[in-house]
Amino acid sequence: MAEPQVTCSRDGDMAVVTLARAAKLNSLTPAMLDELEAIARSIEADTELRVVVLTGAGDKAFCVGADINEWAALQPLDMWRRWVRRGHQVFDQWARLRQPVVAAINGHAFGGGLELAITADIRIAADNAQFALPEASIGTCPGWSGSQRLVKLVGPSHAKYLALSGQRVSAQGALASGLVHEVVPAAGVIERATILAREMAGKAPVSLQLTKQLINAAAGEDAAVTLEAIAGALAATTEDGAEGVRSFREKRAPKYLGR
């Protein structure tokens, strides 16, 4: 079997997910999208995991985006079905994880790599990292929410600068725009992200996860799901909720008390 291109290790209640294609600057392939999806599904289902660190292997790049050799030969419909649409589905899954995600951006984050980084809730960048959306220079467009999620994060002006100019932005520039939250020496980026993740893991996990959902809803992501999930959970804890279940099992009319 081929070696996985995305790895997931567990340290107690923290998962560390690593893009493990350092020789190719962790550029993304269809197989990596599949692996990211499977890992996200596993994390979502794991009630013991409280926080996730997402990073890249090596000391040059977090992820330089999609591997051009993987999509350049695709026909338009395959480009839509197997690449753009697929990537959106996977990245949305990461953005909607219950657990907080800290991105340790250990190097350059270009194109799809930048788009993956912004699915995380908190981003810690190495001081030598650079950020860019170079798609227009190779005749394409941001395809995995660089024109959507990024706008909500840094505003249309900064998003236009990145996407229209293709210029590389330094870690300090990314910090100033709100693209990242902290910049640390490159040798310490994983350590800092892990320390922060550990601090969050020590807080009440349900409160943390609900707060994440509420903030996402305020930003326009999954508002309906959040409202229905919280309302359903609240209703289930009431006396009427318990009575509804009992009456169903006992095959009788319920007696609701409004509490």
Task: Catalogue the active-site residues.
Answer: 115, 135
Task: Give 96-133 as a 3 state SS string.
Answer: CCCCCEEEEECCEEECHHHHHHCCCCEEEEECCCEEEC
DSSP one-letter string for the chain: -PPPSEEEEEETTEEEEEE--GGGTT-B-HHHHHHHHHHHHHHHH-TT--EEEEEESSSSEEE--B-HHHHTT--HHHIIIIIIHHHHHHHHHHHT-SS-EEEEE-SEEETHHHHHHTTSSEEEEETT-EEE--GGGGT----SSTTTHHHHHHHHHHHHIIIII---EEHHHHHHHTS-SEEE-GGGHHHHHHHHHHHHHTS-HHHHHHHHHHHHHHTTSSHHHHHHHHHHHHHHTSHHHHHHHHHHHHTS-------
Query: How far is it, in rounded angstroms, from Cα 106 to Cα 239?
Result: 50
Is residue 158 within 8 Å of residue 173, measured between CB atoms?
A: no
